[in-house]
Amino acid sequence: MAKKPASADNPSSAKNGVTPPDLGGADVGGESPQKASPIPADALISESYAEEQADGGETHQIAGGEVAVLTTQQGIPVADDQNSLKQGARGPTLLEDFHFREKIFHFDHERIPERVVHARGYGAHGFFELTDSLADVSRADVFQRVGEKTPAFVRFSTVAGSKGSFDLARDVRGFAVKLYTQEGNWDLVGNNIPVFFIQDAMKFPDLVHSVKPEPDRAFPQAASAHDNFWDFISLTPESFHMIMWTMSDRAIPRSFRTMEGFGVHTFRLLDASGKSTFVKFHWKPKQGLQSVVWNEAVKINGADPDFHRRDLWDAINGGDFPEWELGVQLFDDAFADSFDFDVLDATKLIPEELVPIRVVGRLVLDRVVDNFFAETEQVAFCTQNVPPGIDFSNDPLLQGRNFSYLDTQIKRLGGPNFTHIPINAPKCPVAHFQQDGHMAMRNPKGRVNYEPNSWGAAEGGPREDRELGFPSFVEDASGRKQRVRSETFADHYSQARQFFVSQTPIEQKHIGDAIVFELSKVERPDIRSRVVSHLLNIDEGLAGTVADGLALAAMPSAAQAARPTIADLPASDALSIVKNGPASFKGRKLGILLSDGADAGLFNALVKEINQVGAVYEVVAPKIGGVTLSDGTKVAAKQKIDGGPSVLFDAVAVVVSDEGAGLLAGDAAAQDFVRDAFGHCKFIGLTKEAEPIFAKGGISDLLDDACIPLAGANDAAAFVDAIAALRFWPRELKVDLDAQ
């Protein structure tokens, strides 16, 4: 790929818009943060390391105070903590980068036994079926034969929280797929968001440290709404595209089944001749996209912190197998060179309107695990696990992940033989001379444990095969050995703006609300102001909304941009959840609040219609023993009203008798049931007898077109058709103070 020229009016590639840490104290009144003076190139640590450490180490005078010289654990001063060592500005990361290796290794080993990130996860088994051969661009066996099924294991996760955290944190969701192909395991270790916070793996420990519980107080858990995270983000302009995604409803999905998955990075496909085609991988949910609203997420975490886990478990065990389409964006060097952004930059995406998605297969999850620890907890994903026909690009974040993941798994699972654990074992023949080590369950047979050897085919063991073996893409790499960020990575705001303008007005409102909420938990005013200064480079309206929501004393100046924002990038409908919602209520859950004496015909009609569209329902009642309907039928309850709030359902129906309504109208939980359903913009079905409950809930005068009367069984079909829309968003503008 041709190297893209640097812009003459941009800062040097060594800086590329990376803001140095704000070490000068608080930035009050919306002024720009003080910049740290560069550390002298000839800075050396003290001869007496122990004595200097006791005094805090050697320091340099900068604006606002003194700062210690950053060193490795061996005491070697660090010249650049922002970029890994590469061969050329866009070349591969070099193995000799001891600072990166030490930093990432130490990070990988910080905690045992749970994962440092993606600790809270849930997995299931299934298969991948090829529906369109990619033999024209890849020699990978998994892409050759249409109709062939490949065993799969998928693990979904949250990033920031511990194993014991709740499911509905505002967070990125991991979407890791292990395909047991005939040429070895392929691990596509992605997320539900197609971009990431950082461009270089050197910064991964810093990113995760900043979002994890603050080390002195060990909170907040599974939350980014605190000073450390936003301090880091406000000093890292490259993160703001990802911030738009994580502050959108993408970060609070309704279920694993209703979110997309992305490979994030640019990979290569190689055909039999070694010809390369760039590729980005996408998982598209067949049930459409769906998220919850923030107030709903908070309440779900209290009512059922295992909401996502339970949903996946129940769906698979109920025969409603989750399914995604595998789509690929394929492009060549000519497109890569002409694209406005660098395809090696993990903070960027390629709009589907520019490179359409080609659907080549489907992923179906049809079996839950037998044992959570043995499978979900012990499964080990490594980005470097790819079969012949798939290869890597020089994306520095991907290169760093390839380097890091193996070490992480060795540490977490106790040794180098984690592939002997059944969930990680390939389902194809395995032959090598690796032996012994912790947890070795099998060793090569015979006397030969090395190669080359002269023992012959019968005794000599496996040999390399140039035809069948893994081929790396043949690429010329040249350039100075240096720590540098390519100039082509320098645009930090244009795609962030493109994402924002691609959202519907209600989604834009949610982004503004989310940023205001998060920053309202940040104690330092200068950090809040600094974030707004970046938002000014994305959308002035959004910046104004956030500044007003925080009651900033003054609007800050826009942050200095390494490259000016491209303001006319076209909106992309594929980036909106609302525009890619479901076509029916299939796979969703209706909550039916019942009382003794409720209309049996109406209840049975609702159940019939829900079953016909492939949805499920749960009965909520005053007592878990259930109710007796108008015809004397007894119906068991799944939830008692105190433990079955409306946040657990996609829509609700209140079917009660006069006597039942009188009982429930005075119950706080029943009032919350209808009030929350209304406040969360859900569709509500209600019988005339239910009106006192809504009156006591304070919303009887607010009922709108999405509050659908249920006079009898004949109304059930129309109600179930209507609730396919999932939300009635115009209502939010009437019930939210921030919208007034």
The residues annotated as belonging to the active site are 118, 191
Query: Helix or strand or coil: residue 357?
Result: coil
For residue 86, CA distances in Å to 5, 90, 109 come to 18, 8, 24
Q: Residue 189: which of 120, 124, 263 has the closest Cα?
A: 263
Mode of pairing for the β-strands spanning 627-628 and 707-709: unpaired
Tokens encoding 488: 């082509």
DSSP secondary-structure letter at 415?
S
255 contact partners, CB below 8 Å, separation of at least 6: 290, 308, 311, 312, 315
Instruction: Note whether 622 and 639 are within 8 A (CB).
Output: no
Q: Tell me the C-alpha distance between 618 and 304, whole Å.
A: 15
Rounded to 5 degrees, φ, ψ at 199 are: -105, -25
76 contact partners, CB below 8 Å, separation of at least 6: 45, 99
Tokens encoding 548: 């007003």
Q: Tell me the C-alpha distance between 610 and 598, whole Å.
A: 18
Q: What is the DSSP string of 141-210?
A: GGGTSTT-EEEEEEEEEESSS-TTS-TT-SS-EEEEEEEEEBTEEEEEEEESSSS-S-SSGGGHHHHHHH
Task: Give me the helix-helix angle, 204-211 and 227-234, nearest 10°.
Answer: 140
> Would the CA dihedral through 603, 604, 605, 607 be positive or negative?
positive
Q: What is the DSSP string of 666-701?
A: T-HHHHHHHHHHHHTTB-EEE-GGGHHHHHHTT-TT
